[in-house]
Structure 1
Amino acid sequence: MDCPVVRKFLSLGGDCAEEQEKKGLEKSVKKMNEILSKSSCHKQANKNSHFSLVEVEIINAKTKQKMCTLERVGNTVGISVLKELFQKKYPQFYTSRQSFRLEPRGKSLKDNDTLADLNLTNECILYFKDLGPQVGWSTVFYCEYAGPLLLYLLFYIRLPFIYGSEYAFKPSEHQVVQIAALCHTIHYAKRLLETKFVHRFSHGTMPIANIFRNSVYYWGFAAWMSYFINHPLYTPPCYGDTQIYTGLAIFIFCELGNLSIHLAFKSLRPAGSTKRQIPKPTMNPFTLMFNLVSCPNYTYEAGSWIGFALMTQTVVGLLFAIVGFMQMAQWALGKHRNYRKEFPDYPRTRKAIVPFIL
């Protein structure tokens, strides 16, 4: 049956089908172009990053003997990834115990260093050093500071076996002895609280042997100072209250300064980060010391113990201040060098620990 209406309807249906097919084809072509575009970008990115797989040969830095080969390692991975791969082969060497370097006696590589950054291609060699059993920094600090806090007070209350039963549990009547015990207690209590709530460590661990070495230093000097300051034969400073309160003022000023610097350091490093920035003064006036030295925390720390030695007028107190300053000066000089090396725009007028001098 030849009907014009039917023919027109069929014609319209055919046109719609053809139109639909054309749109579908256009969509397919567009999608294919997107895929090709992404593929091209991906290839270009790989070309720019110069990605490659390398073999990393691990040599014992001490014995110079080959330990293993890490195969098919991407040159864009960091040293931290290599440590994890190495631990799978040597489970006893957990990541914090490992140190990799380019030379047997070279400097330890950072965890975020990549093989590409170190210009290591194809077959490369890294030297491994065992750092020994590790322990957390906070654990070390707790041991270092809890000991002096308790030891000093044992001499202060005069246990019977220290000065004899005649003076047992009879603290000295000299006011300076009471003040010294309070200052010493506040100092180490502050340190314990800072370890818990303020300090952020760039390195998670240190060799466990450091606990014993550091504890001998802090515990030994605390007991030595306390023995003489709390001794029944101890005599107050020559210049009386003037000397005592001058030393006390220096101690308090420097303790507040030390705390202020630690809080400033905390604000420079976000939690869980190892990011480093140039330390600068904050709204706290104690932090103005940053304009003069790189490590004002050590400057204030040394000042605290100088004030304590002046206040108590003891040779041991002065010796502790001198030895402490020498050690902190060494640390400060090292950090000062690192700051200047890491930051090209680091202020050249700053000294390490002593304004205008050192």
Structure 2
Amino acid sequence: MASLTTLKLTNRSPKQGIKKLPPSIDLPAGATVEDVKKLIAKQAGINDHNRVGLFYTSTRKTLKDRKAVIAEDKDVAEAGEVLVKDLGLQIAWRTVFVIEYLGPILIHGLAVAARPYLVKDPSMSPSQWLSFGMIMAHFVKREIETLFVHKFSANTMPARNIFKNSFFYWAFSGALCAWSIYYSPWSLAATADQPLVDAAGTVLYLFGEISNALVHLYLSSLRSSGGTERKIPYGYGFSLVTCPNYMYEILAWAGIIIASRDWSVALFIAIGAGQMFVWAKGKERAYRKEFGDKYKKKRFVILPGLL
């Protein structure tokens, strides 16, 4: 397999193919998937190598690990060929997350700041202020983790996806939750007067947020800077579920639900939990495939006894 020196290239979409795609390229020793993308981009006149997508000829699935030595990939070596596609304008994953989480911060901040100009009584109840603080702190934490903690296996994603990805956060945890908590005539937080309930929500929220942050820091420590390697995680919650970071995030949002008493917050995290379940199932399959018997299989991926 390691003797592969020439790689045949074929447009994955002949009708919308890369016009200047070379029929083949010579592979330098130890060339990675990312190296191949750079070679193709240079020869095809593509200004950003991240636009180049490589796919297996047999399954037409993408070659995900950009740091993998392409000659050591069994399927590629046997075929001696990959399919190539221009993925279009790209944007960094880190930038996508920063924009996603910025929405709720701006919307909730503006919603509270605008109350004196939009309602007769601009004062907010303790429960409303608590809900505001929880939501703002959550997304500020997410921004800090995005900038300084998370390590991404992929460099970029198609730029058009940012609108789809951001809509969920800006519309649901941003606009919908802000309106329902601070402005809706049916807001339970506006009339709440149960300090013990607020305290219970706060304790659950802090436990979830702190635990989620600890798991993120641990996961970051398992990957080298710029690397794509995967290791088997152990410890804080990993004996219970595949992705304890999702479990703790759901618990934190459960704390916000208790404090806000709001249906919109419950709707947001219910939809989010559904997506997290899909991601966690995929991660469980990946762990089982990559590590085999070394990995202790999990029955539940995000919530013990439930999901």
Q: TM-score range by the shorter chain?
A: 0.7 to 0.9
Residue 60 (structure 1) aligned with residue 11 (structure 2):
yes
Query: What does the per-residue CA deviation read over 1:171-221, in whole Å, with 9 as the maximum and x for residues that have no partner?
Result: 31x110111111111111111111122111111211112221121110111
**TM-score of the superposition, structure 2-length normalised?**
0.87
Cα deviation for residue 348 of structure 1 reads 2.0
Match of 1:137 in 2: 93
With over 3 angstroms needed to count, the CA separation of the structure-2 counterparts of 1:73 and 1:181, relative to structure 1, is: closer
Work out the number of aligned pairs and report it. Answer: 298
**AA of the residue aligned to 1:115:** A
1:78-227 maps to which residues of 2 (within 5 A)? 78-92=32-46, 94-103=48-57, 106-109=60-63, 110-111=65-66, 112-118=68-74, 124-159=80-115, 163-164=118-119, 166-167=120-121, 170-172=122-124, 174-221=125-172, 222-227=174-179
Cα deviation for residue 256 of structure 1 reads 0.8
**AA of the residue aligned to 2:291:** F
RMSD of equivalent CA atoms: 2.6
Match of 1:230 in 2: 182
Match of 2:254 in 1: 306
**TM-score of the superposition, structure 1-length normalised?**
0.75
1:236-247 maps to which residues of 2 (within 5 A)? 236=189, 240-247=194-201
Cα deviation for residue 158 of structure 1 reads 2.8
**AA of the residue aligned to 1:224:** L
In the alignment, which of 199, 203, 207 is matched to residue 253 of structure 1? 207
3-state SS of the aligned residue for 2:23? strand
Cα deviation for residue 155 of structure 1 reads 1.2
* Structure 2 CA distance for aligned equivalents of residues 261 and 343 of structure 1: 21
Cα deviation for residue 310 of structure 1 reads 2.1
Unaligned runs of 5+ in 1: 1-48, 282-286
* Structure 2 CA distance for aligned equivalents of residues 232 and 353 of structure 1: 32
Cα deviation for residue 330 of structure 1 reads 0.9
With over 3 angstroms needed to count, the CA separation of the structure-2 counterparts of 1:50 and 1:310, relative to structure 1, is: closer
* Structure 1 CA distance for aligned equivalents of residues 298 and 107 of structure 2: 42
Query: What does the per-residue CA deviation read over 1:278-318, in whole Å, with 9 as the maximum and x for residues that have no partner?
Result: 0111xxxxx2x111111111111111112211221111111
With over 3 angstroms needed to count, the CA separation of the structure-2 counterparts of 1:133 and 1:256, relative to structure 1, is: same
Match of 1:336 in 2: 284
In the alignment, which of 271, 275, 283 is matched to residue 323 of structure 1? 271
**AA of the residue aligned to 1:351:** F
Percentage of matched positions with identical amino acids: 31
Equivalent pair of 2:56/2:75 in contact (CA under 8 Å): no
* Structure 1 CA distance for aligned equivalents of residues 184 and 53 of structure 2: 52
- Of structures 1 and 2, the one with the larger relative CO (CA 8 A, separation 6+) is 2
3-state SS of the aligned residue for 1:68? coil
Match of 2:3 in 1: 51
With over 3 angstroms needed to count, the CA separation of the structure-2 counterparts of 1:51 and 1:337, relative to structure 1, is: closer
With over 3 angstroms needed to count, the CA separation of the structure-2 counterparts of 1:246 and 1:114, relative to structure 1, is: same
